[in-house]
């Protein structure tokens, strides 16, 4: 036995904490820059001082109708929606990936997003719904799918492995349902459904962000309460139990929170691919084992969403892409990189 000075341990811990803080700060800075770009760029260029004036116009009373409409009714709602949905995707992704101990287990891979999509396509093609009704349908679809996966995976408790396998099966089945619905639909409806499926922020309205912000306000305290349980659950069910974690309750609570976040985000912007999938691994790589990387994953998600949306709007001259196309391209590159890196070092995350 050798005696170890507790101050060394405290020092190492402070170092890890300060690294995690530096990463957070860097991400917040990047977000501020990207947000500034999102407000300034566009067909109708608005100089920074005009943006600031417009943002504070409700307080100062100095208005300019045309500019205020562009900034407050178009760009700010779009920016907020990108930030909130990105953060929600990021959080939901890292919750699933940590809980199921598998980087592939994000909600856009294990069927939750497919459930939302299938429901949305059903609402558009069979019921002829549009707008908010489709979003609500997608939300219900995500919850229903998650519930079905959980029930099917249940056998004296739920194991991570079974959730992933059943989730992937559910994803395949729901994709088949979407294809079937397409074969029965008229071309117009298919076009409308496809636009929803790719995912886009084009339809951002001021009200969306408010609804979204309320959801986050409800889910975040729940998350803060449950997230400490992940410390144990990460080490395996037996170890978690041994450390005094209420395994089933904590896991169920986290799954419900993760599903709710993914469902709300998907209902708001469509199943924008890969944001949930990439945020966790990127956040973990940045923090390098210093902390769980959960707040960082939310920030990475928001950043990926915002930058992808900027690229989608402004990368090609005279042409706007759906946001989902950019995140899809980005996600594919990231997946390849992850495979190359993990092939080399023998680990996946």
Partner 1 sequence: MTQNHQLMAAGLHLGYADREIVSDLNLNVPAGKLTVIVGANACGKSTLLRGLARLLTPTKGAAYLDGKPIHQMPTREVATLLGVLPQSPIAPDAITVADLVGRGRYPHQGWFRRWTPEDDAAVAEALGATDMGELADRPVDELSGGQRQRVWIAMALAQQTDLLLLDEPTTFLDINHQVEVLDLLTDLVKERGRTVVVVLHDLNLACRYADHIVAMKSGKIVTEGRPVDVMTEEVVREVFVMNSRIVVDPISDTPMIVPIGRHHVEKAVA
> DSSP state, 318?
T
Contact assessment for residue 28 and residue 295, using Cβ atoms and an 8 Å cutoff: no
| Nearest residue (CB) to partner 1, 248 versus 315 | 248
Q: Which two tokens stand for residue 144?
A: 């229903």
| Nearest residue (CB) to partner 1, 317 versus 346 | 346
- Site for partner 1 contains 243 (CB under 8 A): yes
Site for partner 1 in 135-174 (CB under 8 A): 156
Shortest spacing between CB 158 and partner 1, in angstroms? 15
Angle at 114 between CA 111 and CA 117, to 5 degrees: 160
| Nearest residue (CB) to partner 1, 101 versus 205 | 101
CB burial of residue 29 (10 Å; 0-12, 13-18, 19+): exposed
- Site for partner 1 contains 295 (CB under 8 A): no
Q: Which stretch binds partner 1 (CB under 8 A): 9-17, 74-82, 83-91, 185-193?
A: 9-17
At 154 the three-state DSSP class reads strand
Q: Would you list the DSSP string of 90-142?
A: HHHHHHHHHHTT-TT-STTTTTHHHHHHHHHHHHHHTS---THHHHHHHHHHH
Q: What is the CA radius of gyration of the chain?
A: 21
Whole-angstrom CA distances from 198 to 108, 168, 194, 284 are 13, 20, 6, 27
- Site for partner 1 contains 26 (CB under 8 A): no
| Nearest residue (CB) to partner 1, 52 versus 224 | 224
- Site for partner 1 contains 128 (CB under 8 A): no
Q: Which stretch binds partner 1 (CB under 8 A): 43-51, 75-83, 173-181, 235-243?
A: 235-243
- Site for partner 1 contains 21 (CB under 8 A): no
Q: Which of 154, 288, 333, 341 binds partner 1 (CB under 8 A)?
A: 288
- Site for partner 1 contains 348 (CB under 8 A): yes
Q: How far apart are CA 206 and CA 212, in angstroms?
A: 11
Q: Which of 20, 35, 215, 245 binds partner 1 (CB under 8 A)?
A: 245
Q: Which stretch binds partner 1 (CB under 8 A): 24-32, 124-132, 288-296, 328-336?
A: 288-296
Strand partners, 154: 158
Neighbours of 54 (CB within 10 A): 23
Q: Which stretch binds partner 1 (CB under 8 A): 62-70, 238-246, 295-303, 315-323?
A: 238-246
Q: Which of 246, 320, 340, 341 binds partner 1 (CB under 8 A)?
A: 246
Whole-angstrom CA distances from 255 to 99, 191, 218, 252 are 8, 33, 15, 5
Q: Which residues bind partner 1 (CB under 8 A)?
A: 1-10, 12-13, 15-16, 98, 101, 156, 225, 228, 231-232, 234-236, 238-239, 241-246, 284, 288-290, 347-349
């Amino acid at each position: 036995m050798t005696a170890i000075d507790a101050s060394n341990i405290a020092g190492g811990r402070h170092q890890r904490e300060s690294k995690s803080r530096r990463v957070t700060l860097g991400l917040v800075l990047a977000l501020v820059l990207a947000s500034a770009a999102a407000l300034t760029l566009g067909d109708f260029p608005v100089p920074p001082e005009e943006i600031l004036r417009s943002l504070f116009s409700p307080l100062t009373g100095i208005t300019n109708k045309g500019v205020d409409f562009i900034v407050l009714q178009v760009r700010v709602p779009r920016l907020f929606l990108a930030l909130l949905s990105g953060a929600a995707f990021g959080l939901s992704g890292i919750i699933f990936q940590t809980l199921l101990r598998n980087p592939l287990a994000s909600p856009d891979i294990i069927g939750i997003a497919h459930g939302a999509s299938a429901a949305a396509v059903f609402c558009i093609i069979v019921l002829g719904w549009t707008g908010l009704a489709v979003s609500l349908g997608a939300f219900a679809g995500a919850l229903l799918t998650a519930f079905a996966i959980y029930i099917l995976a249940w056998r004296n408790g739920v194991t991570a492995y079974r959730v992933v396998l059943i989730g992937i099966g559910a994803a395949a089945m729901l994709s088949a349902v979407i294809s079937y619905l397409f074969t029965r639909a008229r071309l117009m409806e298919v076009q409308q459904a496809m636009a929803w499926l790719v995912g886009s922020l084009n339809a951002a309205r001021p009200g969306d962000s408010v609804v979204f912000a309320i959801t986050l306000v409800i889910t975040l305290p729940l998350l803060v309460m449950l997230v400490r349980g992940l410390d144990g659950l990460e080490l395996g069910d037996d170890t978690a139990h041994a450390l005094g974690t209420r395994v089933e309750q904590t896991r169920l609570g986290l799954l419900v929170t993760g599903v709710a976040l993914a469902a709300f985000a998907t209902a708001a912007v469509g199943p924008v691919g890969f944001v949930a999938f990439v945020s966790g691994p990127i956040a973990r790589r940045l923090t390098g084992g210093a902390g769980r990387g959960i707040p960082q994953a939310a920030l990475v998600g928001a950043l990926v969403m915002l930058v992808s949306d900027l690229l989608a709007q402004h990368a090609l001259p005279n042409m706007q892409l759906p946001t989902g196309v950019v995140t899809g391209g980005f996600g594919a590159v990231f997946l390849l990189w992850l495979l190359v890196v993990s092939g080399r070092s023998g680990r996946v995350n």
